[in-house]
Amino acid sequence: MRPDSVPFSTPWITADDKRAVLNALDHPWLTGGPIVRKFEQEFAEYVGTKNAVACSSCTAALHMVMAALGIGTGDEVVVPVLTFAATANTALAMGAEPVFADIDERTLNVSPRDIQEKITARTKAIVVVHYAGQPCDMKEIIEIAEDGRIPIVEDCAHSLGAEYVNRRTGSIGAAGCFSFYPTKNITTLEGGMITTNDDEITRRARLFREHGMTRTAVERQRASTWFYDVVELGYNYRLNEVQAALGMSQMKRVQEAEKRRIGAALSYNEGLSRIRGVCVPHVGPDRTHVYHLYVIKVLEEYGLSRDELFEYLSANGIGVSVHYTPLHLMSLYKHRSRGKPVVFPVAEQVYRQILSLPLFPTITKTQIEYVIEKIREGTSKAGQARV
Note the Cα 259 to chain centre separation in Å: 18
Identify the band that residue 223 occupies on the pLDDT scale cut at 50, 70 and 90: confident
Tell me the C-alpha distance between 255 and 261, whole Å.
Answer: 10
DSSP 53: E
Exposed / middle / buried, residue 218 (Cβ in 10 Å: 0-12, 13-18, 19+): middle
124 catalytic residue (yes or no):
no
Tell me the C-alpha distance between 19 and 191, whole Å.
Answer: 19
Note the Cα 376 to chain centre separation in Å: 30
**Residue (of 259, 257, 283, 107) closest to 183 by Cα position:** 257
Contacts of 337 (CB under 8 A, 6+ apart): 328
**Residue (of 169, 273, 376) closest to 281 by Cα position:** 273
What secondary structure does DSSP assign to 220-233, as a single string? HHHTT-----B-S-
In this predicted structure, the answer to whether residue 238 has a pLDDT above a threshold of 60 is yes
CB 318 within 8 Å of CB 371: yes
pLDDT in tens, 321-377: 999 999 999 999 988 877 676 899 999 999 999 999 999 999 999 999 999 999 999
DSSP 131: G
Task: List C-alpha distances in Å: 300 to 234, 279, 371, 382, 386.
Answer: 48, 11, 19, 10, 12
**Yes or no: is domain 254-386 CATH 3.50.30.40?**
no
DSSP 33: S
Q: Where in the chain do CATH 3.40.640.10 domains reside?
A: 15-251
Note the Cα 180 to chain centre separation in Å: 9
> φ, ψ for residue 378 (rounded to 5)?
-65, -45
Work out whether the CA dihedral 261, 283, 197, 156 comes out positive or negative.
Answer: negative
Residue range 271-286: mean pLDDT, rounded: 97
Q: So what's the pLDDT on residue 240?
A: 97
Tell me the C-alpha distance between 322 and 227, whole Å.
Answer: 50
pLDDT in tens, 178-218: 999 999 999 999 999 999 999 999 999 999 999 988 888 78
- Category of 317 on φ-ψ map: left (φ > 0), alpha (ψ -120 to 50) or beta: left
In this predicted structure, the answer to whether residue 270 has a pLDDT above a threshold of 60 is yes
pLDDT in tens, 60-107: 999 999 999 999 999 999 999 999 999 999 999 999 999 999 999 999
**How many C-alpha atoms does 363 have within 13 Å on its Cβ side?**
36
In this predicted structure, the answer to whether residue 387 has a pLDDT above a threshold of 50 is no
In this predicted structure, the answer to whether residue 271 has a pLDDT above a threshold of 60 is yes
Tell me the C-alpha distance between 210 and 87, whole Å.
Answer: 22
**Residue (of 147, 162, 382, 128) closest to 262 by Cα position:** 162
Tell me the C-alpha distance between 40 and 45, whole Å.
Answer: 9
Tell me the C-alpha distance between 152 and 193, whole Å.
Answer: 16
In this predicted structure, the answer to whether residue 233 has a pLDDT above a threshold of 50 is yes
Contacts of 157 (CB under 8 A, 6+ apart): 58, 84, 129, 177, 178, 179, 181, 184, 292
Residue range 166-189: mean pLDDT, rounded: 98
Identify the band that residue 221 occupies on the pLDDT scale cut at 50, 70 and 90: confident
In this predicted structure, the answer to whether residue 385 has a pLDDT above a threshold of 60 is no
Q: In this prediction, what percent of the chain has a pLDDT beyond 70?
A: 97
Q: Peptide bond before 131: cis, by omega within 30 degrees of 0?
A: no
Q: So what's the pLDDT on residue 337?
A: 74
In this predicted structure, the answer to whether residue 15 has a pLDDT above a threshold of 50 is yes
Fold (topology level) of 15-251: Aspartate Aminotransferase; domain 2 (3.40.640)
Work out whether the CA dihedral 173, 77, 129, 89 comes out positive or negative.
Answer: positive
Contacts of 199 (CB under 8 A, 6+ apart): 50, 51
Active-site annotation holder among 18, 50, 184, 365: 184
Residues constituting the chain: 387
Note the Cα 72 to chain centre separation in Å: 24
Query: Which of helix, strand or coil describes residue 175?
Result: strand
Q: Where in the chain do CATH 3.90.1150.10 domains reside?
A: 254-386
Tell me the C-alpha distance between 192 and 189, whole Å.
Answer: 10
